[in-house]
Amino acid sequence: MTLTRDHCARLDAEDTLAYARARFSLPAGIIYLDGNSLGALPVGVGERVAHIVANEWGKGLIRSWNTAGWFDAPARIGAKLAPLLGAAPHQVIVTDTISINLYKVLVAAVRLRPGRTTIIAEQGNFPSDNHIIDSVARLFGLKVRYVAVEEISAAVDADTALIELSHVSYRTAAIQDMAAITAAAHAKGALTVWDLAHSTGAVALSLDVDRVDFAVGCGYKFLSGGPGAPAHVYVAERHHGEIDQPLTGWFGHREPFAFAHDFARADGIKAMLCSTPPMLSMLALEAALSVFDGVAMTAVQAKGRALGDLMIALYDERLAALGFGLAASRDGMRRGNHVSVTHPEAYRIMQALIARGVIGDFRAPDVMRFGFGPLYVRYTDVSDAVDIVDQIMRDGAWRSIPHPAADAVT
Ligand SMILES: Cc1ncc(COP(=O)(O)O)c(C=O)c1O
């Protein structure tokens, strides 16, 4: 392959998903490679939120909980999202955050496996996941075994209540075999809890076919639901009769407006609700999901993989010689939609890149992540971004960036 810009322009011209870029409102002069942290703004979401504020809130007032479909929004949006997860619609609901949903499903799963003493989790999990796993273990007097991801299946035994791991790693984008790991857990009577933060909207999923028990996913990354958009939670139908999640707030009650003293769990997936949903964020996410209309997730994953392959080929050709390392699988079938590159000065280099209009992110201590929202990133964006990395390394622009990291969010 010749990796010239013309070659990349030809790939853009042949891209069968190229039309989807017009569904986003992207600032001129910016190459946005951080959709894995905050997805770009879809066209029409701002107008929709303005309409909701002015009319549904401003004029409809409290009536809109009934007349504008607010009350049903978490389940309705969950059902709209379910096809992206390979899930039947009544098993997905939009609510709370990933971490809060994780707490709920972990406790629910532990309660489904009384007498079992161990949780198995991935050593390299996103820290929030492991902090919550530790807390749940303390609550129930369980042990946590942190193991390398490739050892997870072999580590499950008759004491294991559940295993928790990321489908796509937030650092390396390594993608796990959901069906095989879930089958290994089930063979020993254990349950699975999957973190889909870097999977939903990025790669094709088949939670039902893979017999997943529980999963949590993100609204603000590849779904482009907006900053702090509500997360989603999946519970397989076979567990619906017994979900006993710990945050028994009134929205998870069968009849919240009966104001009964005793808690009676709502039927089905609604049992995962706790509180009054953040309606503006909910409805922004609902509007954002239209960017997936008519789009096959297999095509999204294939383009993400091709963009990542291009980034890795350009890394080999140009970045390796400049002192960068690669922290990503070369096998596109085993990689989600970002490519991580390491450098001892990763923070300062990323800041210099952002100053020149290439937005990726930094993960301590030395990782620069480049995420490829397949619906709006072009092949030429990847080659232009690598050109700019090359320039920054040659002209030393990163040396004038102060360190340590000055910003709260990196
Ligand atoms: C893999 C993963 N899990 C969990 C979280 C935490 O998400 P939240 O802030 O919604 O709890 C993140 C956030 O980026 C993440 O990347």
Q: What percent of the chain has pLDDT over 90?
A: 96
Residue 198 Cα: closest atom of ligand 1? 1
Residues 28-34, mean pLDDT to the nearest whole number: 97
Query: How far, in Å, is the centroid of ligand 1 from the Cα of 127?
Result: 9
pLDDT single digits (tens) 375-409:
999 999 999 999 999 999 999 999 999 876 667 77
In this structure, whether the domain defined by 5-42+296-400 belongs to CATH 3.40.50.880 is answered with no
Evaluate if pTM is beyond 0.95: yes
In this prediction, residue 408 carries a pLDDT of: 77
Q: Is the CB of 194 under 6 A from ligand 1?
A: no
Q: Is the CB of 220 under 6 A from ligand 1?
A: no
Query: How far, in Å, is the centroid of ligand 1 from the Cα of 216?
Result: 10
Residues annotated as part of the active site: 126, 195, 220-221, 369
Q: Is the CB of 168 under 6 A from ligand 1?
A: no
Q: Is the CB of 170 under 6 A from ligand 1?
A: yes
Mean per-residue pLDDT of the chain: 96
- The answer to whether the 5-42+296-400 and 71-292 domains have the same CATH topology is no
In this prediction, residue 2 carries a pLDDT of: 65
Site to probe by mutation for ligand 1, drawn from 123, 128, 170 as the one with most ligand atoms within 8 Å of Cβ, is: 128
Check pLDDT > 80 for residue 1.
no
Q: What is the 3-state secondary structure (H, E, C) of the chain?
A: CCCCHHHHHHHHHHCCCHHHHHHECCCCCCEECCCCCCCCCECCHHHHHHHHHHHHHCCCHHHHHHHCCCCCHHHHHHHHHHHHHCCCHHHEEECCCHHHHHHHHHHHHHHHCCCCCEEEEECCCCHHHHHHHHHHHHHHCCEEEEECHHHHHHHCCCCEEEEEEECECCCCCEECCHHHHHHHHHHCCCEEEEECCCCCCCCCCCCCCCCCCEEEECCCCCCCCCCCCCCEEEECHHHHHHCCCCCCCHHHECCHHHCCCCCCECCHHHHHCCCCCCHHHHHHHHHHHHHHCCCCHHHHHHHHHHHHHHHHHHHHHHHHHHCCEECCCCCHHHECCEEEEECCCHHHHHHHHHHCCEECEEECCCEEEEECCCCCCCHHHHHHHHHHHHHHHHHCHHHHCCCCCCCCCC
Q: Domain coordinates of the chain in residue numbers? A: 5-42+296-400, 71-292
Check pLDDT > 60 for residue 17.
yes
Site to probe by mutation for ligand 1, drawn from 172, 175, 218, 410 as the one with most ligand atoms within 8 Å of Cβ, is: 218
Q: What's the CATH fold of domain 71-292?
A: Aspartate Aminotransferase; domain 2 (3.40.640)
